Each structure stands twice: as C-alpha cells, then as structure tokens.
Structure 1
C-alpha cells in the first residue's frame, strides 16, 4: 500500500502527463538506498499502460562496460535502427558491439535521442533508468545529453539514483525517509503486533527509510516485536541493511550461496552465463531454486535479477575475498567460451590481486576497440586496472598515461589530471613522457592556467622534436594559443622560434606561419588578399587534423576580412558537427561568435555562444565556457541588457584568464557607454590599459582603444586619450586592416579640435562597411557633431542611418540615443513594421532550413531530434508570417 508519497507521486504523474502531450520531460530521483525509489517508479508505471516503457536497472559490475546500460534500455526498440540516418545507426551498432567502426560519443547521443523520437511517433515513451549510480559513464553521459534536449518529443526520462548521481542542473526530486505518521502506518500494515515503543525506536533508528523499516522489523523475534526483549544494538543504516540481507542469505545451503554469488558477480544478467560459470564451480542449476523460493532472486525468462539491488551488494560484499576471486575466474572462463572476450578479460582482471602481465596486456589490447565504440571513460577504467596489474613501473606509467588521455577525451578533466599526477611519479620512456606533457598542456589550457599550459606545451614540443616533428609543431601551436589566452603574447614569438624548420614539409607549415599573427605580427607577411586567404583555407582544410580547421577563420579575422572569416568558420563548424566533434567545436565557437558579432548577426552570435556553453558543460571545458560567457556579456552589453551583461561578465571574470577577463571588462565598459555613464566606462576600460593590470591583454588594447578614447574624451581626460591613441595609431597605420583604419579615423575625429573633426568622420565612414555596429556608432557621433554645429539637415541623415542600423541590431539603448539626437535635430524615425524576434535556436534552425536541409539533417547539425526541429519550425513560421518552408529563402534572417 502507498504511504506518505502523495507529492512525489504527483510530480511523477505530471512528468508522464507532459510527455503524453508532446512536451518531453526528464526527472532525476535522488535518495538513499532503500528509501523507495524503485517502489515510486513501480507505482508511476502502473499507470503508464498507454506508453512504451523502456526500463533497465544498472548493476555495479557493469559500471566499467561502455554503453552496457544504454544497450539494455534501448534493446526493445532496436527494430527502428534502420530508420535512423546511416551514420547514427552505425554509431549505435558500433557502440553496442554489433559492428566494427568508430562511435563518436556525441553521434551516439544524438542517435539515441533520434531513436527515442522515432519510437515516440507510435506512442509516448517513458525511459526508466533505475540504480543509475551503477550505470557506465558512457550511458550516463548519453542520458544527460538526451535529458537536456527533450523538448517536443513525447518522451519522459526517469532516472533513479543515489545522492551521488550528477544532475547537472536537470530537474530533480529528492526522496527522503517517510514521515513518522507514514512510517507508523507502514509498520502497522506489515507488522500489526509491533509494540508502540518498538515502532517508535525503529522509526527513529531508520530515519523513516521504508526498506529498512520492513527488513529490520522482519528480522525481529516475536519477543522483540512485542517489546519484551531488547532490540539489536544501534549500528549505521548501511551495515544494518546489509546484515539483514546477509542473515537471510546465510540461511541458504552452501551451494545455493555460491550460485547466488555468481549471480551477484555477473554483469550480463544472462541465465546461460550464470549456469555455465556455476557448472565450473561444481554447482547444479537446481541450487538456485532455494534462492528463488527465499525471494532473493527472480528468474525472468533467460534473465536473472535480484529482488532488490541491496541484496546483490550484500551478497557480494559479505562473501570471502578468495571466494569472490574464484567466482570471477569461473565467469571469465564461461564468457571466454561464449565468445564475449571483453567481459571475460574484465572478470579475469577482477580475479587478479597482484602483478598479472598477461591480463594487463589483454586489458590494454581491448582499449582501442572500446574507444572506437565510444566508451572513453570505460577505456580509462580498463587501462587504470591494467596499470595496477603491471609489474614493470614503465608499463604502469604508460598505461596510466593512456588512461588519462581516455578520461580527457571523455570530458573528465579532473580525473585525467589525477591520473597524470600518478603517472608522473613513475619512471617512463620518452614517448610516455611526451604524451604526459602534451596532456598536461591540454588539461591546463581548458581547465587550469593557460600560462602553465604554454610551458607544458613547449616542453612537449621539445620532447617530440626528434621522433615526431608533426606533434612538435602541434604543441607549439598549442603553446601559442595558451600564451595568447594568458595575455603573454611576447612568449608567442619565442614559442615559434625554430618551428619553421620542424614544420617544413609537413601539413602544419602554413598553420605555424599563421600562428605568428597572435603575437601581433604583420598579417600581410602571411597572407592578406582574398585569394591568398582562400588558398590558405583550402590547404588547411585538407589537413587531416580538425584542430587546424579553425585557423582559416582566425587568419581571415586578423586580416580584417570578416566575410571570409564567416564563411571559413561555418565551413569548419559544419565539418565538426557532421563528425560529432563537439569538444573541438567548442574551441571554434568563441571565434565564430566574434565574427557573427562584428558583422552584425548578434542573434547568431548568441546562439553559437549559448550552444558552446552547453557543450562545454558536457565536456568539462571550464575555461572555454568562461570565454563564451564573456562573448555573451558583450552581446548583452550591445543589446542593453544591463543585468545579464554584468552577471555574465562576473562569471567570466571569476576564471581569472587574461583574454577572458579583458573581454568581460570590454563588455562592462561598452555597457556603461551605452548608458551614458562615461565615468564608469573610463574606469572599466582603464583596467585594460593599466600596464600591470591582469586585464591588460594586448589584443583587446587594440580593439577597445576607440571606446576608451571616447570615454576619456567624454570625461575630459585628454592626456590619457592622447597616450592611448599614440600607441594605437602606430599599429593601425601599418596593419592594413579595414576596421583598424575605421577606428583610427574615428579616434582622430574625437581628438581633433572641433572645427577639424569632419574630414576624419568622413574618412571613417568611407571605410568598407563589414561591421555595422562600428558604422552606426560613427554615424551617431558624426550626427551629434553636425547637430552641435547647427547643420541639422545633414545631421538628420546620419542620425537616421545610425538609428536604423542600431535598431536592426537590437542595440536598444544606442538606438534610443540616436532617436533622441534625431528628434533634437528636427527629424523623425521612419515607421517600420515590427517583426517578432526569433530565439537563438529558432534562428539557427530557420537558417539551416532555408538552405534546403531536412529536419533530420538539421537535427544532426544541432544535436537535436527531428521532432524538436519540427516543433521549432512550427513556432518560426507564424513569427515570420510565412506558411511554407520554401518561403524561408525569401525572408531576411539574422
């Protein structure tokens, strides 16, 4: 009977009801062992006859097998695999070991979402992952990925786990013990003869844990229930439950206990595997009958399961160590005979207690196939176990290093760092030492100190220079990026010194030359004309290394060709999306967001940055996430969302990365300018230009010089403005970059005597108009100047242009200033037809649909399900005033 869970049941009922109506929901149910998570799920599913139920309960021994839990959950809908795109279907088959190939984890995750959406076309689906704390990490990552993207699918995802399960911001339902009234009702219902004092003590000792209440009351003697004999001494709940279960198991015959231990140690749930292992131990299949009659195990077809997962834990933990080892060896032999080599090797490893090189080598050999199946975290665990079984410390260091790389690939940088530290204490060969140093650089760059990353990357380059010149060049490039992020661009030149010899004749030669621009080198010395940029891009895109695909964008951006940078960036993003390389896509996102911002596609920039933040959360790239939050702060500054700008900027500043901090300060300064607070703007920008400031990034000194000079002029701080301008002018005069010349002319106009400003404003406006925000702000300043000088007719033209551009960008505070100035000049803004603004994700979908992509193709690009794409298109059409997909080509987007 149901006791004390009315509110929890309502939450689950609402979750299922939402899925039935096409609004996908996820709920993570947290609670201690025995608190009633499974019972709550049973109660909810009893009212889900109209839904397809995909249910699986994880077991502890499967936690190291990649996608074991996912395969169990999805098995009933495998018949729909052929309806998925070929790449997605292949990824799932590879992940589950049904086919050879490579299963990139984000492709597997998208395929899982798509498969569930397909199943939900027939009837609503509820996916139930019980005891999820024992799920393998690959399955956990996939379920969390799916949970974050359930929108328009009639799918409910219910995850029940211990308190340690990571929710990552998804909806959660905490399950505690029953209150005293509900606990008393439960005990009265099950054990009417319990005295009031005994009930009270049990409720107090168990904290209302329903399983503990029932199990412990069931173990009491009649005299103890009546209160005529004392209850057992108080012990912790975990041990108390385990003792309750082991006492029941101890009453079984010896052969039955051994057979039950085989079930507890098995990770397949297969009756055939258990019986084969039991035969090797001299145990008859009939031995399981007593365990079934004692309600310890249940046989469901060809699958064995424990009545409650705590029974499995109790049986396994209570068994003598030597007996557990014997059982694992029997399971290994049975699985090997059945052709399940990976499972067999794992059990053999569990049966080993000292150095065991054959087993360690076998674990290492199976790592590569497991990695191709997308089980990077399982590979890390297997290699760590192999390292622990290694007698030779050099072999141990190599295996720990490989384990660390796999953890890094799986998006677990903290685990990778810990493994690196373990390996670093051991003797290692040259290749292993190089691998370790390279990994330290990557981990530091994405989660720690970019300065430390630069040091490690340069050290790795020196180690690799003789045997692996290609890797040496890659690490020098990594060092330049790290130095740039640290704000130490002087180090870039020293990092690049001598790299040309290493890079000569390799595909990285051009990338190494391009890297020099990060230190402020003359971009024209690398390539600058559109034709040169296109040829360079073709060369770099042909390199079979996705890490260099962002260089064409970077080179075009520094060359001042935003249009080509935009094209190259989307070309790289498309290739990375198609390959499911989300971890590298996050590195491209800040660059592409920058380009979108400069060319006036602020909604696109926000969409890319927001998506990047979400992907960084899934890949553990905290530094990159801070970069993207800073870009979002800059966009919020432009649109005038003061609270959002300050919140995002503060989040970004908290990481303490130089390039990120400078960008966040720029956002705050720009916001102050838009609000008309020149004093606040001055103090914000001054942080970038102070010589010893941690915000003094050289690149942002150039890009923000015009804003700082405007803030100085409006604050009557002309001397500081002149000093900043002198440095900027020296660079901009020779840079050959259009935006720099535009800023240079605007600065001259701001600093010139009033009667001499006009030609400088006109020179600025004559520059190529790739950056509408820059053009609009110069038009606004020139219009203000004209109005002050009583040239109102001319002023109106420039102020109206400024208002129209700023209003179109969504720069509401700037647009308001332009409108005020226009009215003061005797003009009015033109009437425009208000248009509904698309959300960042809607805009991405609309733009892809306008190119002719199908819902399925768009879903693959954006890591969504086709149904979610259709749901968003259903909202997009009315907003844009269209009725057909083909009309998207004729609607201005972004």
Structure 2
C-alpha cells in the first residue's frame, strides 16, 4: 500500500507539484527526475496522500491512480496500466487504445478537482503502458489529469518523447537537520554541513547514516563519517578481485587526497599499466575521470565520499594503516605526508605531534587558519605531555576562530574551559566573545590574560593577546587604543608571525580614526608591499578597501573589497570575507548598484549564519534596510531591523549601524521626530568613539541635523553642524563635507537665508561631482528643491526636484520618486502655466499644495509629519486643512480620509 510520506527539505518541490496539480486544465505529463536516493518516491507518496486527503468526503472529486513499477514488469506489455487500473483492468490486452479507454473509464467524468496518475520508477515501465499514458495526454486534452512519473534519467524522455521535468536537487543542511530532528537527533551545526556534504544531500543516505551511526557522534564536530551498510555491500560486490590492477588503483585513490597527481596513485597501487586499470576501474562505477577523453587528461577519483568511505571499510584497519604508511613515503606535500602519518598512528607519538605543531604554526603565519586548526587538533591527540596537549587543543580552537569558524570552535569551548587557566586560554575565549559581539566578556578575559602573561618567557603568547586587544578596539571603533596595542603586538611578535601581520593590517584603520588619514594610507602602502600573496594578503586587501571607503576613494575601495571577497576561494578567512562583503555592500549602495549590494548582503548573511559570527550582521542589515525602505518595501525593511535586533551585541560596530538603519526607516517614512530620538544618543557616543567622530564611514550627523531642522530645532542643528563642518573641512573629506552642506542648506533655508542656502547646496553638489555617489547626489538635490519651493522659487525648484526624481528613479527608490512627484505637484508650476493661458480654477477645486496635504492626511499623518514631508510649517498645514474642509464640505480628518478611500 502507499504510505503517507513526510517530505523534509522539499518545500519548494512540494509546492510546485501541488500547484501544478491544482491548476491543471487538461491532460499533462510531468517527470520528476533525480539521482537514486534523492527522495523521488517519498515526494510522490506525499503528493498522492495529499491529493487523497483533499478529495476525501467530497462528491465531485478527481481520481487518484498510482503504481510502483517493479523490474520484472518491463517485459510485460500493458503491466503498468493494469497495475494502475487494478480491478478495472482489461485482462491480457496489449492494445494501446484499449488501455487508454480503461484509463479514461477509471478517471471518470471531468471534475472540479483534477485527477492524478502517479508512477514511481517509470524507468522500469513497459513501453506499451508508457505509450498509452502519452496517448492519453496527447489525444484527450479535455481530461483534467496530471500524470507524474519519477525517473532517474536526466533530460526527462520516455519512449523517445521529451517531457516537462522537475529536477530534484540535493537538500541543504537545514533539510538535513529537519530529517535528523524527526528522528529525535539534534545535529551539531558543523555536523549538519558535514553530513550534507558526505551524502551529497541525498535523503536516503542521510536517513541510513542517522539510523546506523551511534547517536553521540552527531552532537560533536570533526567525526569521520562511514558509508551506510547497503553502500558498503554494493561497493564490496563491485570491487574487482584482490590483486587485480583496477582493485589496487581504487584502493590507492581511496587513500590519497583528490589533489594528488595520478603518478602518486599509480606508485601507491604498484601497477605498471595505469590506463587499462583506469578503464576497468571506471567500468565498476566506483571511479570517474570527469569527462577526460585522452590519457593526458585522466584524473581518476572515487565518485563520492560515501564510496570512498565504503572502500576503506572493505579494506579493513590493518590494510588502511599500511597504505597510509606507504603513502607517507610517496607524497611530496609536507602537510599531506603528515596527514598520512597521522592516519596510520593510533597512539601518542611526541615526535609526530611536534612536526604537526610546527607545520600548524607555519600555516597560521600564512593565514591558512582552517588548515592550521586541523593540524593543531591532530597534534593534540598525539601529544603525550598533558600540559602541551592542552596548549595545542587551545591553539586548535584559536585557529578555528581565526578562520572564522565560530560554530566549530564553539563545540570545543567546553573542552577549553575545562583546562587549567593560562593566558592563551583566556585570549582564545576572549576571541570567541569578540566574534560573538560580547564586548564586556571580551574585555574581562583580555584583561585577565594580559595580567597573568609573562612577556619575557612567552613573547608569542603576549603578542597574541595584544593582537586580540587590537581586534577588540577595532570593533569598539577606538583609534588611538587600537594603534597602541598594535604597536605592542608588532614589537613582541616575530617578523613573520600571524599576530604581527594581523596587527599591521588593522593598524592603518586605527590611524585613520585617530585623525591621521595620510599616515593610514602610508601604512597600507607598506603592508601591501610586504604581503603580496597567500591568505594573509586577503586581510591586507580588505583592510585597505575598508580604509579607502572611509577616505572617499570609492573606485579603489570597490576594487580591493571585491578582490578580498574573491580571495576567499584561495584559503582566506571567513571572518575577513564577512567584513569585505559588508563594506562592499556599502560601496554598492552609495554608488547606486543596489541589486549588487543586496547580493553582497545575502552572501554575507549566509556566511554569518554558517560561521556563527555575529559582528557584521547589523552592518549588513543596515544596507538592506536602506535599500528596502527607499524602494518602498516596508515589510522587508522591518524584517531587516528585526533580524539585527536578535544579533545586536554591545560593540559599537554593531550598535551604530543598527541605529542608522532604524533612523533610515523612520526618515523614509518622513517621521523626523523618530529620526531625532534614534540618533541623538550618537552625539554623546561620539565623544568617546573616535571612528564615529571622523568623517567617512558613519553618515549620521547630516541625518540628525536634517531631522532637527524639520522639527524646528534650529539651534541644536546649528551646534551639531558647526563641530562636524570644521572637521570635514580639516580632513578634506569631500562626501562628508557635502553631507554637512546638505544639512546646512536645509538650516539656512528654514531660517530665511535663501541665498546662503542656494550657495551651500550648490557647493555640496560640486563636492559630490565625480565621486559617483548617486544616492548622496539625489539626496542633496531633493533637499535643495524643497528649500527653493518653500522660498517661492517654484520654477527653479521644479528643475532641481526633477533632477532628484531622475536620480531616485534610476536607483529604484520608489518611495522618494513618489515624494518628488508630490513636491512637483505641490509646487503648482504646471497649474500656473495653465492659468496663464486663460483657464480659471473652480472655487471648489484644490490647489496642488492642498492636494498634497490631503493625500498625506488621508494616509494618517499628523500635521507635524505632513509639515516635515512637504517642508512647510505645521501652521501652514493647518491653514491648508481649514481651506480644504471648506472647499470639500468636510468637518474632520476622518471624513477627509473616508472621502479618499
């Protein structure tokens, strides 16, 4: 019987199938294709069960016919159709038309609910039945029926006919976790990824391993996963006999890394004719050459991780150990040689542990932290001395954090916390606190680490602690303190140590935040000349791009940040990639490349989720909130704000973008009182946060001052602007100076100095010229136009607001395009021209300004909010409302709103 199936990780496919079935208007044929074990049968069973459940108890329903084809039915003409029809089957017939007639009779008359014919394993079906089904869908199109057939053949062709196809792809780690959860198993986050990778996301293999592997395996990371028993049995049956060259080659490939050249595998296998061995190995289906057509292109490898694991299990422990010992004598790469030595060593080995630790240090200095973490962990397992073992385990966790794997490191934290207190232990736990956004915890642990370290005896550890202080002050946005700790780290660390390199590549940002932009530029020139290659170069390139964004070097910033993102493929750090994506999204937002910015945001969010690093999430969400609110997608904008709320730590680099995002959302909704309430705390924060006071990265002063002006707080706006106008001028920072002029122009216009306002706005636009900051250009033009309109210069206002509208339209900023349209309408210039041609306005007709006020009041805005939106005073709004009521014969705001529905 067909059992009810639960589809996990297949929501998209389930929805697609159900929608296709519910909306079918005629007879259609759909193939569901996927590799064996991909969940085709379960998906089909779910569809059948759901269709039956929806149809149960109703009179006017479509039929549900289903069949699961068996191998022995392929040679029996009409067998599939007879299985579908059950008791109504025409006995023994092989006539296609008769079979079609039987199907039509079983389906019955056309119903409001379409019928479903479901066929599992259609690859095995007899040709006559498939012809009958295709004839049904081709010749009886008025019949509302969907035929769904599962197949393992890509391309969706049955009896030579092409079909519509729904391809089942691998499920993702979240789907893997859901499958485990339904079996009462909670997967460690790192194990979700590993199990998905190991099984290629095939539900059948995932379920098999969850059932067969001991439950304790799933709660930790780093476990080596076996193959399901049925895969081991299949591989055992397909392996050539022992001693056959193909068998020896397959075993060698299972032992070696895929990156090893074929010559290494041939030597390990001890064969003389590799080409014949490759051909025979490929015929087993256990080895592939990925489309190679000539011997020169042949790069044979085991087809899947499951097959590799199965081959090793068939080999047995003794043979696997011996193979790894021989491989250690053959491979050239030092890291792989050590890997083979480790794999062949079941007990403690001090010399091997020391070799591993030394290689880990070298890899760490190069920035290859993920590799260093694995080496330290192996070294710890093989180290006989308990104290040395504790140190290496701690270094493994520290290296995972440097690589940006907070999830993997977090799994080992209980182990580290159980160890005796050392400066290294405290520094490592502080590092984790930093990446999770916990400033107070990080400060306590760093202070303790620095307090107990002996600088003379442990200079490397002292340098590491100092470098963690550098990171801590980076995300606190502290310039001078960052530079001081960077100098300490560089003084104590070795010339090629990782701590020295990291301190050097961050020091330039500290100089910029200390009011020394030229020194910061020089620092990155020096660092870039020193570090040209390898994973450490990603840190230097990202840091330089971050600095360049803050210094208005927009094109250079984009180039370096894009390079830092791409360098992740060369072994860079997840942590550095996250910063690069977050700041690249800012560049793309400012230059108007909003689709690219959202792609960077989504890539950063995915990386943050998988790594467990919380620091950059508010920064990413700030960009997302700006784009969504400017596009008028309020639901997504609020969702971004809510996402930040769940990840906000107590670091300034998290709190500042969260406040800016909330202010942007309020400003886009013309709620300037809320903007002021959100941003006013930054005035106090800036007194102790140098990066917030320096022009460049954090555009908050102009937003707050603009809100203060529109709220009538002219003196507050003037005081705020005076401080930061002088700083922008002193630094020669063009975009920041332009933003100050944007707000100062507002202030001058609002206080009656229209000539000063015009001059200030023009100066702001001139400063922006050539920088490519399209969003800022639109913003200045919009404020300029509003100011001109308020001063009664409608023709000039019309031109400037038209420019702003064109810019906002090119950006896709729908909410501000609408505001520009209201401004243009409220200006009434077009109406005036009409009047000048001799037409007259009816006494009851609203003026453009009154129309604008009416529209906003009808939306529920208060007088103050309408005034801020239209850049007029609340008294003017009330004056317009009085006239509107009189003209329309209304008495209240509610009646006005009702009249516009």
TM-score by length of 2: 0.53
User: Is 2:665 the counterpart of 1:671?
Assistant: yes
Counterpart contact for 1:364–1:382, Cα < 8 Å:
yes
User: Is 2:819 the counterpart of 1:817?
Assistant: yes
What residue number does 1:47 align with? Answer: 121
Counterpart contact for 1:662–1:696, Cα < 8 Å:
no
User: Is 2:636 the counterpart of 1:644?
Assistant: yes
User: Is 2:551 the counterpart of 1:562?
Assistant: no
Within a 5 Å distance, the mapping from 1:382-531 to structure 2 comes to 387=380, 391-405=384-398, 408=401, 413-417=406-410, 419-420=412-413, 422-423=415-416, 425-426=418-419, 434=424, 436=425, 439-450=428-439, 452-453=441-442, 479-489=469-479, 491-496=481-486, 498=488, 501=491, 508=501, 511=505, 513-517=507-511, 519-527=513-521
**Distance (Å, rounded) in 2 between the aligned partners of 1:346 and 1:584:** 32
What residue number does 1:750 align with? Answer: 746
Cα deviation, residue 608, structure 1: 0.5
**Distance (Å, rounded) in 2 between the aligned partners of 1:732 and 1:333:** 71
Counterpart contact for 1:589–1:612, Cα < 8 Å:
yes
Counterpart contact for 1:441–1:454, Cα < 8 Å:
yes
Cα deviation, residue 726, structure 1: 3.4
Cα deviation, residue 407, structure 1: 5.1
CA spacing shift, 1:800–1:502, aligned 2, 3 Å: farther
What residue number does 1:799 align with? Answer: 801
Shifted more, 392-401 versus 797-806: the winner is: 392-401
Aligned mate of 1:782, from 755, 780, 784: 784
Cα deviation, residue 735, structure 1: 1.6
Cα deviation, residue 476, structure 1: 5.3
Counterpart contact for 1:376–1:410, Cα < 8 Å:
yes
Cα deviation, residue 643, structure 1: 2.3
- Compute the RMSD of aligned alpha carbons: 6.1
**Distance (Å, rounded) in 1 between the aligned partners of 2:585 and 2:703:** 20
CA spacing shift, 1:469–1:363, aligned 2, 3 Å: closer
Counterpart contact for 1:27–1:157, Cα < 8 Å:
yes
Deviations 1:532-570 (Å, cap 9, x if unpaired)?
988876666557432222122122112122122112222
Deviations 1:145-199 (Å, cap 9, x if unpaired)?
799xxxxxxx98435656998xxxxxxxxxxxxxxxxxxxxxxxxxxxxxxxxxx
**Distance (Å, rounded) in 2 between the aligned partners of 1:675 and 1:21:** 47
Cα deviation, residue 799, structure 1: 0.8
What residue number does 1:620 align with? Answer: 612
**Distance (Å, rounded) in 1 between the aligned partners of 2:37 and 2:721:** 55
Aligned mate of 1:609, from 601, 615, 638: 601
CA spacing shift, 1:827–1:460, aligned 2, 3 Å: farther
**Distance (Å, rounded) in 1 between the aligned partners of 2:36 and 2:622:** 30
**Distance (Å, rounded) in 2 between the aligned partners of 1:376 and 1:602:** 33
Q: What secondary structure does 1:560 align onto? A: coil
CA spacing shift, 1:41–1:496, aligned 2, 3 Å: farther
CA spacing shift, 1:562–1:757, aligned 2, 3 Å: same
Within a 5 Å distance, the mapping from 1:570-585 to structure 2 comes to 570-577=562-569, 582=574, 584-585=576-577
Cα deviation, residue 603, structure 1: 1.7
Aligned mate of 2:193, from 121, 141, 161: 141
CA spacing shift, 1:693–1:49, aligned 2, 3 Å: farther
CA spacing shift, 1:593–1:689, aligned 2, 3 Å: same
**Distance (Å, rounded) in 1 between the aligned partners of 2:595 and 2:36:** 27
Unpaired runs of 5+ in structure 1? 32-39, 52-75, 78-121, 148-154, 166-210, 212-237, 239-262, 277-300, 304-327, 830-894
What residue number does 1:686 align with? Answer: 680
Cα deviation, residue 397, structure 1: 0.4
Counterpart contact for 2:558–2:584, Cα < 8 Å:
yes
Unpaired runs of 5+ in structure 2? 21-29, 43-66, 71-117, 126-151, 154-164, 216-228, 243-283, 287-312, 328-338, 832-901
Cα deviation, residue 734, structure 1: 1.0
**Distance (Å, rounded) in 2 between the aligned partners of 1:822 and 1:386:** 71
CA spacing shift, 1:163–1:496, aligned 2, 3 Å: same
Cα deviation, residue 757, structure 1: 2.0
Deviations 1:280-317 (Å, cap 9, x if unpaired)?
xxxxxxxxxxxxxxxxxxxxx999xxxxxxxxxxxxxx
Q: What secondary structure does 1:742 align onto? A: helix
**Distance (Å, rounded) in 2 between the aligned partners of 1:826 and 1:24:** 66
What residue number does 2:579 align with? Answer: 587
Cα deviation, residue 758, structure 1: 2.1
Counterpart contact for 2:403–2:575, Cα < 8 Å:
no
Q: What secondary structure does 1:656 align onto? A: coil
User: Which one has more relative contact order, counting CA pairs under 8 Å at least 6 apart?
Assistant: 1
Deviations 1:852-883 (Å, cap 9, x if unpaired)?
xxxxxxxxxxxxxxxxxxxxxxxxxxxxxxxx
**Distance (Å, rounded) in 2 between the aligned partners of 1:136 and 1:788:** 61
Cα deviation, residue 754, structure 1: 1.8
What residue number does 2:877 align with? Answer: none
Shifted more, 518-527 versus 813-822: the winner is: 518-527
Deviations 1:302-348 (Å, cap 9, x if unpaired)?
99xxxxxxxxxxxxxxxxxxxxxxxx9x9543433454787996697
**Distance (Å, rounded) in 2 between the aligned partners of 1:674 and 1:516:** 33
Cα deviation, residue 653, structure 1: 2.8
CA spacing shift, 1:584–1:10, aligned 2, 3 Å: closer
TM-score by length of 1: 0.53
What residue number does 1:717 align with? Answer: 713
Q: What secondary structure does 1:521 align onto? A: coil
CA spacing shift, 1:467–1:798, aligned 2, 3 Å: farther
**Distance (Å, rounded) in 1 between the aligned partners of 2:379 and 2:415:** 14
Equivalenced residue count is 594
Aligned mate of 1:336, from 316, 321, 328: 321
Counterpart contact for 2:781–2:804, Cα < 8 Å:
yes
CA spacing shift, 1:828–1:476, aligned 2, 3 Å: farther
User: Is 2:695 the counterpart of 1:706?
Assistant: no
**Distance (Å, rounded) in 2 between the aligned partners of 1:386 and 1:163:** 32
**Distance (Å, rounded) in 2 between the aligned partners of 1:163 and 1:271:** 19
